[in-house]
Structure 1
Amino acid sequence: MKFLDIGEVASRSGFKPSALRYYEDTGLIKSVGRVGLRRQYPAEVLLQLKLIAMGKSAGFSLDEIAAMFGANGVPELPRERIHARADAIDRQIRELSALRDTLRHVADCPAPSHLECPTFRRLVEVAGKRGVRRGSRKREIGPGPG
């Protein structure tokens, strides 16, 4: 079986060697040993890293991603949690689309003043209500990261 050294894994995966070492320290990936000072990985690590990248892009934390790998590194993907995340992304897409449309209207509004534009005033009202709901939801759940 051919193993890949950390430099080759970094080159082929796009992850920095420091990220690979961190992922190994946290148990996301495993090396099989060293040749000199260079860590060696099985070729399957490239698939694991693709799954990690996809999970991060989807908004999963590294702890959540780690829980999706079994003890032997084989993915055990929780379908319900993935469906829930896809639903959250759908909501985010709708919100971002509405925000984009609002910004385009503001940029292109023919009214002499935005405050004179009924569409602008309606969009601001809707955005304000959405922000209040989002803010109250955060308070119910607890403080956010920032």
Structure 2
Amino acid sequence: MSIGEVAERFGLATHVLRHWEAMGLISPIRVEGARRRYRSDDLYRVAVILRGKEAGFSLEEIHEMMTTSDAAERRAVLLRRREELARRIAEAQASLELVDCALDCDHEDLAGCPHFQAVIADRIPEAVRSR
């Protein structure tokens, strides 16, 4: 596939693919006057990069993860990101619980609803709650 076809398939600008190539994240073959040709392995690498970015990896972390032959180094990068993802998931789950609670509340003043207060209580600093 050409750079334009890959960019279109993934909804990217061609300069993004060129940047990733310059960083060593992808390495399309060169044909006919140095034109890039992307193989199926390159498409999987693009997909990994995109998924990694969605997970919060920086391009440098993605590069480190994809290029290192040291399993311990790769594992360290992945563990750091896993901890961050687990934190984000917990925050999103708490937010979803809050929205669901608010959707179920018929109180005129949402902040005065005892059930809503119970759901949000952990956001109030301990020093303030004990007054």
1:59 aligns with 2:56: yes
Q: 2:113 aligns with which of 117, 121, 125?
A: 117
Secondary structure at the residue paired with 1:93? helix
Q: Where does residue 26 of structure 1 map in the other structure?
A: 23
1:9 aligns with 2:6: yes
Q: Distance in 2 between matches of 1:64 and 1:81?
A: 7
* Superposed CA offset, 1:95-139 (max 9, x none): 21111111222233122322432222333332244xxxxxxxxxx
How much does 1:23 deviate? 1.0
Identity percentage over the alignment? 33
Kept after mapping to 1: 8 A contact 2:24/2:63: yes
Q: Distance in 1 between matches of 2:98 and 2:9?
A: 41
* Aligned positions of 1:1-146 closer than 5 A: 4-36=1-33, 38-70=35-67, 78-129=74-125
RMSD: 2.9
Q: Distance in 1 between matches of 2:65 and 2:111?
A: 50
How much does 1:59 deviate? 1.1
Secondary structure at the residue paired with 2:67? coil
CA gap 1:112/1:11 in 2 versus in 1, 3 angstroms: closer
Name stretches of at least 5 consecutive residues in structure 2 with no aligned partner: 126-131
Kept after mapping to 2: 8 A contact 1:13/1:46: no
Q: How many aligned residue pairs are there?
A: 124
Report the residue type matching 2:45 in the other structure. Answer: Q
Name stretches of at least 5 consecutive residues in structure 1 with no aligned partner: 130-146
CA gap 1:95/1:63 in 2 versus in 1, 3 angstroms: same
Q: Distance in 2 between matches of 1:82 and 1:94?
A: 18
How much does 1:51 deviate? 1.5
Report the residue type matching 1:31 in the other structure. Answer: P
